[in-house]
């Protein structure tokens, strides 16, 4: 096994922060030394399993996937205190180099008790830590985030925000807006609308006022000439690729291509994270059509990134899922005695009949769902529904039709599932690196992904955390100032720092500092974790 990441990464903010590292983490400096690159494209097919990849390849006629040539290892996906990871800590491991707890977004956990992990000290519990995107931004690189989910969903948030709860959409989305990411593409404008937010802040207006070209259609995205683009193409998540209306929503490949085109204009290079979010959602629903649909869509995005990297010769591309999901198998209990005699058509033909995913057919059903047989025959080629299956479709709640339809299709295609949740297996690592740049290979930890990106980009996550997340109470009181957290109305929290005649106001979740009529833009966002507030070092420097 060869792990490439510099030993310096293991150095902590303080001695206590070493506690969040693996006991066996680290390699020697000679092994870590290597050629740097300007750009990294990190691609995450959330919840993609090996059997899902195999199934998608067979569905596509057995043709190699774009990511196949990049396969080079396995990644261990467990979190700080569980063998099976939630998406938030799994993505945080990629983004920060630290394992964390369910629901935690780029924030250290309270407990780290998996084998090989050091316990977390009291000082480090719930402490935000810098992401590779934030470190790249501090180094002057352009940055971007793309997802087919809402942009404040767990994985994209892991690279752009900090919280102890992935459900804190108001906080996460506000931090994203103020974290000065150059290109943000995906969905979720509903959560930016002040009418839907507890703080009543219209983040879409903030986005526009910050100089972004705010776009909501594929045509507007492609037409944009701006170097700052914020694109939201649906109120919540985007559609599965098979269900997508190309006039209303761009494909993941189209968003990836546009982002690369914009970000690559930066002479200092760029970091881009791309997530195929709904592979995971389809696997939760045991919907093989949705899984195939979005694995193939993700792979097209990989090809876009790979084609750029091969031409550019200064870009590393990484593709790896954050965890498995569903326990998908090609073959089920029904093939126990016949598995070695079943032709490929047994598994693929029923899937090929599908014209939409389980989610996609919901709009085709009547309000009273009296046309279930007709819809299932037209869009899935299924003409032998049982009474129990009809009842399941009829009983499905709005927004959960794939949970009813997925198992019906799986049964006919002999696709097995062990769970409706995540799974704990090691997952395939895919890396492309230019000549002279080492690839990360072997069996590695999910935290090694961050350390590898840090190494090839010549960044320091430790230094970034020191600059971005200083304990405000301790730092300001050390300067003789008083510190108070106040609610300025509508749950808009502000940290108020006073020393003599000087008053400094630091609105939580923003990168803004106010001193009287003077407004200063900080190097990062202000984060409140429910107990302590963390501010960038340049905020502390404003108090003499």
Which parts are annotated binding residues for Mg(2+)?
Answer: 46, 153, 155, 275
403, 415, 441, 242: which is closest to 335 by C-alpha?
415
Burial of 17 (0-12, 13-18, 19+ CB in 10 A): buried
Give the integer Cα–Cα distance in Å for 339 and 350. 17
308, 313, 310, 317: which is closest to 272 by C-alpha?
317
Please count the residues of the chain: 544
Give the integer Cα–Cα distance in Å for 185 and 75. 27
281-314 burial, b if ≥16 CB within 10 A, otherwise e?
bbbbbbbbbbbbbbbbbbbbbbbbbbebbeeeee
Residue by residue, DSSP assigns 79-116 as -SS-SS--HHHHHHHHHHS----TT-BSB--S---STT
Residues belonging to the binding site are 46, 153, 155, 275, 280, 284, 322-323, 422
Between CA 59 and CA 66, with CA 62 as vertex, the angle to 5 degrees is 95
Give the integer Cα–Cα distance in Å for 55 and 75. 21
Q: Which of 49, 80, 87, 277 is catalytic?
A: 87
CA distances from 338 to 55, 62, 331, 452 (A): 19, 22, 10, 44
Q: Please state whether beta strands 533-535 and 470-471 pair in parallel, antiparallel, or not at all (unpaired).
A: antiparallel
SS3 146: strand
The DSSP element (H or E) to which 432 belongs, if any, is strand 427-432
Catalytic residue at 87? Answer: yes
Residues belonging to the binding site for Zn(2+) are 46, 280, 284, 322-323, 422
SS3 145: strand
Give the integer Cα–Cα distance in Å for 519 and 431. 43
List all residues 6 or more positions away from 337 whose beta carbon is below 8 Å from its beta carbon: none
Catalytic residues: 87
């Amino acid at each position: 096994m060869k792990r490439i990441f510099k030993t310096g990464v293991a150095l902590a903010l303080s001695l206590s922060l070493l506690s969040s590292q693996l006991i066996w983490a680290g390699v020697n400096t000679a092994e870590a030394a290597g050629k740097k690159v300007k750009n990294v494209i990190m691609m995450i097919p959330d919840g993609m399993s090996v059997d899902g990849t195999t199934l998608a390849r067979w569905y596509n006629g057995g043709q190699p996937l774009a990511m196949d040539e990049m396969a080079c290892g396995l990644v261990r996906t467990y979190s700080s205190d569980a063998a099976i990871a939630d998406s938030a800590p799994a993505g945080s491991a990629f983004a920060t180099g630290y394992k964390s707890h369910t629901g935690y977004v780029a924030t250290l956990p309270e407990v780290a008790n998996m084998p090989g992990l050091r316990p977390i000290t009291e000082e480090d519990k719930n402490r935000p830590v810098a992401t590779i995107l934030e470190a790249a931004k501090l180094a002057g690189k352009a940055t971007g985030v793309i997802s087919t989910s809402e942009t404040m969903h767990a994985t994209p948030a892991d690279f752009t925000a900090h919280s102890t709860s992935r459900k804190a959409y108001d906080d996460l989305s506000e931090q994203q807006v103020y974290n000065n990411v150059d290109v943000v593409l995906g969905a979720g404008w509903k959560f930016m609308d002040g009418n839907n937010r507890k703080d009543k802040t219209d983040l879409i207006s903030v986005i526009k006022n910050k100089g972004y070209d705010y776009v909501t259609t594929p045509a507007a995205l492609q037409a944009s000439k701006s170097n700052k683009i914020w694109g939201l193409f649906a109120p919540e998540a985007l559609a599965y690729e098979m269900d997508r209306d190309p006039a209303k929503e761009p494909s993941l490949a189209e968003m990836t291509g546009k982002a690369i085109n914009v970000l690559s204009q930066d002479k200092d290079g760029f970091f881009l994270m791309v997530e195929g979010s709904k592979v995971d959602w389809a696997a939760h629903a045991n919907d093989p059509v949705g899984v195939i649909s979005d694995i193939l869509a993700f792979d097209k995005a990989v090809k876009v990134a790979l084609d750029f990297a091969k031409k550019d010769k200064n870009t590393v591309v990484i593709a790896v899922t954050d965890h498995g999901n569903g326990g998908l198998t090609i073959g089920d209990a029904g093939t126990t005695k016949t598995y070695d005699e079943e032709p490929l058509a047994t598994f693929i033909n029923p899937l090929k009949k599908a014209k939409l995913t389980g989610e996609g057919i919901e709009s085709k059903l009547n309000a009273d769902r009296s046309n279930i047989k007709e819809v299932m025959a037209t869009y899935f080629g299924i003409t032998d529904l049982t009474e129990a299956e009809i009842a399941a479709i009829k009983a499905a709640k709005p927004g959960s039709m794939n949970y009813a339809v997925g198992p019906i299709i799986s049964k006919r295609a002999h696709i097995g599932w062990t769970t409706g949740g995540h799974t704990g297996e090691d997952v395939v690592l895919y890396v492309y690196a230019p000549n002279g740049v080492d690839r990360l290979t072997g069996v590695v930890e999910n935290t090694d992904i961050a350390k590898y990106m840090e190494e090839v980009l010549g960044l320091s996550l430790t230094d970034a955390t020191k600059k971005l997340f200083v304990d405000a109470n301790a730092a300001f009181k050390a300067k003789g100032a008083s510190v108070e957290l106040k609610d300025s109305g509508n749950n808009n929290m502000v940290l108020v720092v006073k020393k003599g005649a000087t008053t400094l106001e630091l609105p939580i979740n923003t990168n803004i500092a106010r001193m009287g009529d003077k407004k200063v833009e900080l190097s990062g966002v202000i984060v409140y974790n429910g107990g302590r507030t963390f501010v960038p070092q340049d905020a502390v420097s404003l108090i003499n």
